[in-house]
A and B are shown apart, each in its own frame.
Chain A
Amino acid sequence: MNRSEIIKNYSDIVVTKFSSKMWSTFLVLGIIVYLIIAILSLDIFQIHKKWSPERASLFALDTYAHKDHVTMKWSEPDDIIISFEGSRWSQYVGPYQKSDGLPERYPEWTSIGPEGETKISFKNGGFANLYDDKVTIENWPDTKETLVFRLDAQGKPYVENVDNLPKWIRVTENKIEVRPSLYERVQVYSKKVEVHRYNLGWNYFWFDFDSPLEPYGIWNAISLSFSGDRVDPNISNFSLLIQEFLNNDMWHHGQILWALLETIFMALLGTLLAALLGFPLAFFAAYNVTPFKFVRTILRRLFDTLRGIDFLIWSLIFLRAFGPGPFTGIFAIAITDTGTLGKLMSEAIENTEEKQQEGVESTGANKTLQHRFGIIPQILPIFISQTLYYLESNTRGAVIIGAMGAGGIGLQLLGAINTGTSWENVMYMSLLILGVVIFMDTMSAKVRRALIGDETLGAELQLAKMAKK
C-alpha cells in the first residue's frame, strides 16, 4: 500500500487537511507569543530591582526568631534600657543606674565589667561593651582585635585606629552598623547605641512578659494548675493559666482564636444557609419536577445573577448594611453559593433516572413522595459532596472576605502585615489558617470519598457520570 492508497482507505483516520493538521501548532505559537507579551507587560524582569534579599531575609528572620534590644543614649550613658523587641511595655529593666549594680530581673547575657561598663555577650562568643564615652566589640569572628567606636567632635560616629575593617561593618556618615550574621547587630548612631541580640523561637508565646506565670514556663504552669499552691491568691491556677494565655499581650491568643472562630463560622453558616436555600430552589428550577417554564427560567436567571455578581461585590453591599462583622461574610457566601448550588443541583435533578421515580409512582405515591423517594436518594451524594467542597473553598473565601472588612482572621492578618514589624504574628496566623484549611480539606475529602467513592470529581464530571449510567 502506498501513501495515496492509505489516505484513500483510511480517510476517516488520516488527517490531510492543512488547517486541521496545523491548528495545534498555531495554538502553541499563539500561547508563546501571548506569554512573551504578558511577561513584558507585567514587568517580570523588573523583579530583581524590587526584590531585596536582605530585607526579605530580615522579615523571614522575624517570623521565627525574636530579639532583645539594649539601648544607650550618649547623652545619658548611665540609663541603659534592656527590652524585649524594643517595646516600651516589655523592659527587663527600665533605665537603671550603673552605679547601683544590676537589678533583680536581668538577662543572664549581660554583666558589669571591671570598669563599670555593661557587657553584652553574644552567641558567637563575642562581646559588646557599652562605656560612658565609647562602645567596643571584642572577640568577634574574623577579627580578634578589639574595635572601638566613638563620637567625633561633630557628634558623628567613627571607628578608632583600624586599617582594614571586616566586611560586616558598614560605616556611613551618621551610623556604624555591625552585623556579622543575622543574629547579632550593633548600631552606633550619633544620638544613641542600639544592640540587637537575636534568639530562635517564639518567645513569650504562652505567657506575656508581665504575666505572673511567665517565670514558670508552660509545662510547669500546667502542672501547677493541678496542684494546690495558688500563684495568685484570688484565682485558681487553672483559670489563671487560661486567662493569662488568652490575654497574652504579645500574641493576642484570645483575640486571634476568636477571630479564627468567626471566620470558621462565616464559612460554615454561609455554606449551610446556601445549602438550605439552594436545595429546595433547585427542585423548582428542574424541568422534570416543575412543569412551569416561566418559574424555571426566572429561577435559572436568578441563580446566574447571584453567582455572576461575585462574592466580592456581595460582600461590599452587605458591608454597608451590616458593618464589619461575620454577618457580612455569612450572607455574601450564602447568596453566592445559593446560586452555584442551585444551578448544580437543578442540573443533577434533571439528570436523574426516571425509572426510580416511576417505580415509586407505581405504588400509588403522590408527587411529593415520588420526588422524596425517586429523586432525592439519587442526588443526595452529589449534593453533600458538593456542599462539602464549597465549605472547604469558602473557608479560604471567608479569610478573604474578612480582609475586605468583614473581620475575622483575615482582618487581623491584614493588620499584622500592615504594621510591618510583627512578622511572627503574621506567621502564627498564617499557620493557623493553613491548619484550619488543611483540616477542612481532609475532613471533606474523607466524607466525599466515603459518599461517592471519589473525592475530587468536580460537579460537571459527577453529572457526566450520572448521565452516562
Chain B
Amino acid sequence: MQSSLPENLIKIENNLKSLTRTRSIYSFLSIAALIAVIYSGLIVAETGNATSIWVGLPKFFDYPVDLFVGSWEYGYRWNLLLLEYLPDLISTINMALFSTAMGTLLAFFLSIFSSRNLIKSKTTVLIFRRIMDICRSFPELVIALVLLYLLGKSALPAVIAIIIHTAGALGKLFSEAIENVDKNPIEGLESCGASWFTRIRFGVVTQALPLFLTYTILRFEINIRASTILGFVGAGGIGEQLYTNIQWKYEADTIAIMFLLVSTIITLDYLSSYWRKSLIGLKS
C-alpha cells in the first residue's frame, strides 16, 4: 500500500504537468491568434482610412469642443431649441413604438409556427425558422434604403424595415422561450380536451409572457436607436434633423438634438432595465 501511493502520486503529478503544458500551449496559441487578428485588422483599417490613427487621435476632441463652443455662443435661448425639436423626437419614438408593436405581433405568430413543441410538421418549423433568419440578418438600413427609393422619403419605409427586422429578431427569441416552457400545463390542458388555441393561450402564453415582455421592452429600446439612424437616410424624425443640422454646421441645434436623444436613450435604458429585471424576478 505504501509503495503504491507515491507511484499514484507520480502519475497524477505527470498528468497534471501534461495538462498544464497543453493548457499553456492553447492559451499561447489563442493569444497569438488574437494579436494576429488585431494587427492585421489595424493594417486593413490603416490602409482604408482617410486619416491615420496618429493624426486622428489628437483631433478627437475637436468636434465636441466645436459643438460646445458653438452652442455657448448661441446663448441662453438654447433651451428653447430643446422645445423646438421635441416634436421630431416624439415622431421618432412613435415610429419605434408602432414598429415594435407590429413587429412583436408578427414575431408572436412566426414564433408559434417555428416552435417544435407546438407544430408537429418539421418542414413548417424549418421554413418559418429560415424566414425569421433572413428577416433578422438583413440590417434595417438595407431594407429601408431600398424601400425609401421605391416609396419616396417618409417614415413608412423605416417603419416597414424595422417591423421586418423586429419580427425576425424577436421571433427567434420568442420561439426559444416557447420551446423552453414546462410541458405539463400543455399536457394537462390537452387531457381535458382543450383545443390547440386554448392550449397555446393557457398553456404556453401564460408561461412565456414575462419573457416575451422582457424581450419586447429591450427591442423597443433598440428600435428607438434604429429609427433615429433611419432618419439619417431620409425617414424623418429627429435623425433627419440631426443630419441636416450637422450638414449646416448649426452647433447649438446639433447639441440640443444630441442632448434630447441621449437623455431619451438613457431614461429608456434605466426604465427598461428596471422593468426587465422586475419581470424576470432579479429585483427582489
A interface residue numbers (CB < 8 A to B): 31, 34-35, 38-39, 41-44, 46-47, 50-51, 55-56, 59, 258, 261-262, 265-266, 268-269, 272, 304, 307-313, 316-318, 320-328, 330, 396-397, 399-400, 403-404, 407-408, 410, 413-414, 417-418, 420, 426, 430, 433-434, 437-438, 441, 456, 458, 460-461, 463-464, 467
Set B97, B173, B225, B280: member contacting A310, Cβ < 8 A: B225
A317 and B56 alpha carbons, distance in the complex (Å):
11
- The verdict on A464 contacting B281 (CB below 8 Å), with A272-B38, A407-B48 known, is yes
Q: Are A272 and B34 in contact (CB under 8 A)?
A: yes
Q: Are B60 and A317 in contact (CB under 8 A)?
A: yes
A59 and B148 alpha carbons, distance in the complex (Å):
13
Q: Are B41 and A265 in contact (CB under 8 A)?
A: yes
B: interface residue count bin: 35 or more
- The verdict on A322 contacting B51 (CB below 8 Å), with A31-B101, A50-B151, A433-B139 known, is yes
Q: Are A441 and B150 in contact (CB under 8 A)?
A: no
**Inside 8 A of A320's CB, which chain B residues have their CB?**
59, 62-63
Rank and list the top 3 A-B pairs by shortest CB-CB distance, nearest first.
A325-B49, A323-B50, A320-B63
Q: Are B282 and A327 in contact (CB under 8 A)?
A: no
Min CB distance B143 to A, Å, is 9
With a 10 A CB-CB cut-off, give which of A34, A55, A304, A312 has the most chain B CB atoms.
A312
Set B41, B173, B261, B265: member contacting A269, Cβ < 8 A: B41
Residue of B with least CB distance to A258 = B48
Q: Are A326 and B139 in contact (CB under 8 A)?
A: no
**Inside 8 A of B97's CB, which chain A residues have their CB?**
34, 38
**Inside 8 A of A43's CB, which chain B residues have their CB?**
154-156
Besides A320-B59, A441-B137, 8 more A-B contacts (Cβ < 8 Å) are: A42-B95, A43-B156, A47-B151, A55-B150, A258-B48, A317-B64, A327-B45, A434-B137
| B129 at the binding interface (Cβ < 8 Å) | no
Min CB distance B110 to A, Å, is 15
Q: Are B145 and A417 in contact (CB under 8 A)?
A: yes
Interface CB pairs A-B, < 8 A, 16: A34-B97, A35-B101, A41-B94, A42-B98, A265-B41, A304-B266, A313-B258, A317-B63, A325-B45, A328-B49, A403-B141, A438-B137, A456-B172, A460-B276, A460-B277, A460-B280
> Interface 1/0s, chain B 51-75, versus A by CB < 8 A?
1010011011011100000000000
- If over half of B's interface residues share one DSSP class (helix, strand or loop), that class is named, otherwise mixed; here it is helix
Considering only residues 234-284 of chain B, those with a C-beta below 8 Å from chain A are 239, 246, 258, 261-262, 265-266, 269, 273, 276-277, 280-282
**Inside 8 A of B277's CB, which chain A residues have their CB?**
460
Q: Are B156 and A47 in contact (CB under 8 A)?
A: yes
- The verdict on A321 contacting B156 (CB below 8 Å), with A265-B44, A304-B269 known, is no
- The verdict on A326 contacting B34 (CB below 8 Å), with A304-B266, A310-B261, A321-B57 known, is no
| B107 at the binding interface (Cβ < 8 Å) | no
Q: Are B262 and A309 in contact (CB under 8 A)?
A: yes
A430 and B41 alpha carbons, distance in the complex (Å):
23
Min CB distance B185 to A, Å, is 17
| B142 at the binding interface (Cβ < 8 Å) | yes
Q: Are A308 and B265 in contact (CB under 8 A)?
A: yes
Q: Are A269 and B149 in contact (CB under 8 A)?
A: no
Residue of B with least CB distance to A51 = B151
| B152 at the binding interface (Cβ < 8 Å) | yes
A258 and B38 alpha carbons, distance in the complex (Å):
17
Q: Are A463 and B282 in contact (CB under 8 A)?
A: yes
Considering only residues 9-56 of chain B, those with a C-beta below 8 Å from chain A are 34, 37-38, 40-42, 44-46, 48-51, 53, 56
A271 and B122 alpha carbons, distance in the complex (Å):
36
Min CB distance B73 to A, Å, is 19
**Inside 8 A of B37's CB, which chain A residues have their CB?**
268-269, 272
Q: Are B60 and A403 in contact (CB under 8 A)?
A: no
A42 and B158 alpha carbons, distance in the complex (Å):
11
Q: Are A326 and B141 in contact (CB under 8 A)?
A: no
Min CB distance A333 to B, Å, is 12
**Inside 8 A of A34's CB, which chain B residues have their CB?**
97, 101
Residue of B with least CB distance to A463 = B282
Q: Are A413 and B152 in contact (CB under 8 A)?
A: no
A-B contact count (CB 8 A): 190
Q: Are A321 and B63 in contact (CB under 8 A)?
A: yes
Residue of A with least CB distance to B169 = A393
Q: Are B45 and A308 in contact (CB under 8 A)?
A: no
A336 and B126 alpha carbons, distance in the complex (Å):
35
Q: Are A400 and B229 in contact (CB under 8 A)?
A: yes
A17 and B160 alpha carbons, distance in the complex (Å):
41
Q: Are A326 and B59 in contact (CB under 8 A)?
A: no
A328 and B155 alpha carbons, distance in the complex (Å):
28
| B194 at the binding interface (Cβ < 8 Å) | no
Set B45, B137, B261: member contacting A265, Cβ < 8 A: B45
Q: Are B49 and A322 in contact (CB under 8 A)?
A: yes
With a 10 A CB-CB cut-off, give which of B34, B48, B53, B151 has the most chain A CB atoms.
B48
Q: Are B45 and A330 in contact (CB under 8 A)?
A: yes
Min CB distance B242 to A, Å, is 8
> Interface 1/0s, chain B 196-223, versus A by CB < 8 A?
0000000000000001001100100000
Min CB distance A223 to B, Å, is 33
Q: Are A417 and B149 in contact (CB under 8 A)?
A: yes
Q: Are A467 and B94 in contact (CB under 8 A)?
A: no
**Inside 8 A of A414's CB, which chain B residues have their CB?**
145, 233
Residue of B with least CB distance to A319 = B63
Q: Are B59 and A321 in contact (CB under 8 A)?
A: yes
A313 and B265 alpha carbons, distance in the complex (Å):
12
Min CB distance B58 to A, Å, is 8
**Inside 8 A of B145's CB, which chain A residues have their CB?**
403, 413-414, 417
A265 and B40 alpha carbons, distance in the complex (Å):
9
Q: Are B51 and A325 in contact (CB under 8 A)?
A: yes
Min CB distance B180 to A, Å, is 9
| B232 at the binding interface (Cβ < 8 Å) | yes
> Interface 1/0s, chain B 121-148, versus A by CB < 8 A?
0000000000001101111111001100
**Inside 8 A of B176's CB, which chain A residues have their CB?**
456
A156 and B214 alpha carbons, distance in the complex (Å):
66
A330 and B38 alpha carbons, distance in the complex (Å):
11
A310 and B221 alpha carbons, distance in the complex (Å):
11
**Inside 8 A of A420's CB, which chain B residues have their CB?**
149
Q: Are B233 and A56 in contact (CB under 8 A)?
A: no
**Inside 8 A of A269's CB, which chain B residues have their CB?**
37-38, 41-42, 45
Min CB distance B238 to A, Å, is 11
| B112 at the binding interface (Cβ < 8 Å) | no
Residue of A with least CB distance to B146 = A417
Q: Are A262 and B48 in contact (CB under 8 A)?
A: yes
A441 and B40 alpha carbons, distance in the complex (Å):
23
Set B53, B98, B211, B281: member contacting A35, Cβ < 8 A: B98
Residue of B with least CB distance to A50 = B151
